[in-house]
A and B are shown apart, each in its own frame.
Chain A
Amino acid sequence: MGTVEEYTEPPADSRLERGVHYLWQNRLAYLLIAPAAIFLLSVVGWPIFETFRLSLYRSPADAAIETYVGFQHYVEILNSDIFYQLLWQTGRWVLLGVAGKTLLGLLIAVHLRGDIRGRKFFRTAFLIPWGIPYAISAVVFRWIEHPQYGYLNAILLKLGVIDQGMGILGSPDIAWLGVVVADVWIGTPFMAIIFLAGLQSIPEELYEAAAIDGAEKWHQFRYITLPQLKSVILIATLLSTIWTFVSFDVIWTMTGGGPINTTATLVIWIYQVGLENGNLGRGAAYSVIGFLFLMAFAVIYLRIYTRGGDEL
Chain B
Amino acid sequence: MTMAGQQRSRLRKVRIYGVLIALLGIMMFPFYTMFSSTFKPESEIFSSPATLFPNDPSIEAYLAVWGQTDVLLWIGNSFIISLGTVALTLLLAIPAAYSCARNEFVGKRSFLLSVLVVQMFAPVVLIVGLFDVITSFGIYNSYLAVIIPAAAFTLPFNVWMLYGYFQTIPVSLEESARIDGASQLQILTKIVLPLTKPALVASVTYTFLYAWNRLLFVLTFLTDAGKYNIPRGVFSMVGALQTDWRMMLTVSVIGIIPLLILFAFLEEYIVAGMTAGAVKE
Contacts and interface: CB of A to CB of B under 8 A. Distances in A.
Interface of A: 1-3, 22, 26, 28-30, 32-33, 35-37, 39-40, 42-44, 46-51, 54, 63, 104, 107-108, 111-112, 114, 116, 120, 122-129, 131-137, 139-144, 146, 148-151, 153-155, 157-158, 165, 185, 188-190, 193-194, 197-198, 201, 231-232, 235-236, 239, 242-243, 245-246, 248-249, 252-253, 267, 270-271, 274-275, 280, 283-284, 287, 290-291, 294, 297-298, 301-302, 305, 312
A61 B271 CA distance: 43
B271 A193 contact: yes
A122 B118 CA distance: 33
Given A33-B99, A291-B125, 8 more contacts: A32-B96, A39-B155, A47-B133, A122-B20, A126-B23, A129-B27, A235-B277, A246-B124
B126 A149 contact: no
Contacts of B45: 149
Contacts of B31: 128, 140
B106 A22 contact: yes
Interface string B79-118: 0000000000001110110111011111111011111111
A107 B234 contact: no
26 contacts: A3-B104, A3-B105, A26-B105, A29-B108, A32-B98, A35-B95, A35-B96, A39-B151, A51-B128, A116-B20, A133-B255, A137-B30, A139-B234, A144-B29, A151-B52, A185-B30, A193-B271, A194-B275, A235-B277, A239-B278, A246-B122, A270-B125, A274-B131, A287-B125, A287-B129, A294-B125
Contact of B20 (A40, A112, A133): A112
Which range contains the number of B residues in contact with the other chain?
35 or more
B192 interface: no
Interface of B: 16, 19-20, 23-24, 27-31, 33-34, 37, 45-52, 91-93, 95-96, 98-100, 102-109, 111-118, 120-122, 124-133, 148-149, 151-153, 155, 159, 184, 209, 212-216, 219-220, 230-232, 234-235, 238, 245, 248-249, 252, 255-256, 259-260, 262-264, 267, 270-271, 274-275, 277-281
Nearest to A136: B252
Contacts of B96: 32-33, 35-37
Contacts of B260: 128
Given A246-B124, A248-B216, A141 B30 contact: yes
B148 A43 contact: yes
B49 A143 contact: no
A149 B48 contact: yes
A28 B99 CA distance: 8
Contacts of B213: 131-134
A54 B129 contact: yes
A151 B166 CA distance: 50
Contact of B132 (A124, A232, A280): A280
A13 to B, nearest CB: 20
Contacts of B28: 125
A147 B24 CA distance: 26
Contact of A139 (B49, B122, B220, B252): B252
A302 B124 contact: no
Contacts of B111: 33, 37
Contacts of B219: 252
Contact of A135 (B20, B152, B234, B280): B234
Contact of B215 (A114, A135, A242): A135
Given A35-B96, A246-B124, A1 B184 contact: yes
